[in-house]
Amino acid sequence: MSTSENLTMIDLFAGAGGLSEGLSEVGFKSLYANEIKKRYSETYAVNHPGTVVDQRDIRLVDAGAVRGRLGIKRGELDLIAGGPPCQGYSINAPVRSTEDARNHLFKEYLRFVEEFFPQAVLIENVPGLVSFEGGLTLEAILGSLEKLGYQSDVRILYAPHYGVPQTRWRTIVIGIRSGQPVGNAFPEPIRQAPLRINFTARFEGRNIVALPKTLELPQFVSVKDAIDDLPVLENGQIGALMKRYRTTPQNDFQRALRGSAGRVTHHEAARLSSINLERMSHIPPGGNWTNIPIGLLPKGMQRARRSDHTKRYGRVAPDGLASTILTKCDPHWGAYFHYSQDRAFTVREAARIQTFPDSFLFAGSRVEQYEQVGNAVPPFLAAAIGQSLVGALGHETVELSRAI
């Protein structure tokens, strides 16, 4: 077997770089990334200084010119990865899908695949892709990859199964042209975690959700496992740009994410309003909006059934999983109150829950940083996929430098 230390990749629709961050752990070096959002591309460039970061609209980018700039022959690249918008790609897509130009950006992704003809292709998307247009979009994606010379398949992965401390699902499509069985490129779950499937889990008559094959797996990483070593903050407290950790690392997760970082950044508490502070005073760890007196609830929620909006105004249970980290850690939309401190999650806490290392820096305002974190692929999940992909391509896998 050849080593995976010199594997090359490009990242399209790269966001802040969560996918590249995880794939780099198993030996992939990102040569080029395309991301149209300015702050996202700035964050990517800061954290991947050896990568050519292109902020142009991908529709205006000559894929052949990019390949020429990188000095790569067609077929030499190991991987094209990314999260292109796929909804509406189906050849049978209804007229409504043509109203949004983003629905056709997947064709730009395929244009790069055809130009570079990499060994493998990795696409990530939301679970809803499987049911979109009755599965026709996903069928068209797999069919397009087959026409380009790839064996391809799809799985829905649950991030807590791979060490990510939040309830996050992602649809993963992988294509391989080496002739290796593509099913081997999807990682097996390595942890147990509570789950609830509220989306279509079947495609072409089979269940595509990757579930643990044994009960003899370690438990999931909890919210407390993930963030309990970070400094204590009061509501609205900013403090120093770089802060001392509250404790020494308490577990392998904290040890891994801290790495050699001596202090922590992006750890500042947004100021909650007085009404939200009063609401929060009624919520125990693991509780939510139903613990708040009706008179203190927003008017729209006062009429809600007690079974609705179960995560809104939630205070996370320290020994449980966090809500899916969204583009805002706004308590109105989920369980984003800290379990023991009367405030919402900081950017760094959200980034920890997304499994970004503490050395990872985010450009822009705090609002822009939350958005970048929430839209990212968790690096731990990306690393798990990458490790299986490396083996499927016939390379010797690199042991991860941390326990997930």
Backbone angles phi, psi at 91, to 5 degrees: -65, -15
DSSP 233: -
Give the span between the Cα atoms of 321 and 402, in whole angstroms. 20
Tell me the domain boundaries of the chain.
2-215+378-396
Give the span between the Cα atoms of 111 and 113, in whole angstroms. 5
- Pull the structure tokens for residue 84: 């292109």
Examine the pLDDT at 176 and tell me if it is beyond 90: yes
Q: pLDDT > 70: what percent of the chain?
A: 93
**Which stretch of DSSP H or E encloses residue 8?**
strand 7-12
Residue with tokens 């989920």: 334
Coil, strand, or helix at residue 325? coil
CA dihedral for 120, 126, 129, 130, sign (positive or negative) = positive
pLDDT of residue 104: 78
pLDDT of residue 102: 58
pLDDT of residue 401: 53
pLDDT of residue 397: 73
C-alpha distances in Å from residue 345, one per residue of 222, 313, 352: 15, 12, 10
Helix H segments across 189-330?
223-227, 252-258, 274-280, 299-302
Give the span between the Cα atoms of 322 and 223, in whole angstroms. 6
Q: Could you tell me the pTM of the whole model?
A: 0.94
Q: What does the buried/exposed string (b/e) look like for 311-333 if buried means 16 or more CB atoms within 10 Å of the residue's CB?
A: bbbbbbbbebbbbbbbbbbebeb
Give the span between the Cα atoms of 220 and 84, in whole angstroms. 29
Per residue in 312-321, pLDDT (tens digit) is: 999 999 999 9
Local confidence band at 163 (pLDDT 50, 70, 90 cut-offs): very high
C-alpha distances in Å from residue 338, one per residue of 119, 317, 365: 44, 9, 21
pLDDT of residue 309: 74
Per residue in 347-362, pLDDT (tens digit) is: 999 999 999 999 999 9
Spatial contact of 111 and 41, defined as CB atoms under 8 Å apart: no
Q: How is domain 2-215+378-396 classified at the architecture level of CATH? A: 3-Layer(aba) Sandwich (3.40)
Examine the pLDDT at 164 and tell me if it is beyond 80: yes
Closest CA to 31 of 82, 83, 80: 80
- Average pLDDT for 333-346: 96
Give the span between the Cα atoms of 86 and 110, in whole angstroms. 11
Q: What does the buried/exposed string (b/e) look like for 67-77 if buried means 16 or more CB atoms within 10 Å of the residue's CB?
A: beeeebeeeeb
Q: What does the buried/exposed string (b/e) look like for 158-184 if buried means 16 or more CB atoms within 10 Å of the residue's CB?
A: bbbbbbbbbbbbbbbbbbbbeebebee
Q: What does the buried/exposed string (b/e) look like for 384-404 if buried means 16 or more CB atoms within 10 Å of the residue's CB?
A: bbbbbbbbbbebebbebebeb
C-alpha distances in Å from residue 380, one per residue of 35, 40, 109: 21, 19, 24
C-alpha distances in Å from residue 65, one per residue of 59, 62, 69, 280: 13, 5, 6, 55
pLDDT of residue 1: 36
Local confidence band at 402 (pLDDT 50, 70, 90 cut-offs): low
Per residue in 285-305, pLDDT (tens digit) is: 999 999 999 999 999 899 888
Write the single-letter amino acid at 327: T
Q: pLDDT > 90: what percent of the chain?
A: 85
Give the span between the Cα atoms of 278 and 155, in whole angstroms. 43
Give the span between the Cα atoms of 329 and 337, in whole angstroms. 9
Residue 185: which residues within 8 A CB-CB, separation 6 or more? Answer: 120, 174, 176, 385, 388, 389, 391, 392, 393
Give the span between the Cα atoms of 385 and 182, in whole angstroms. 12
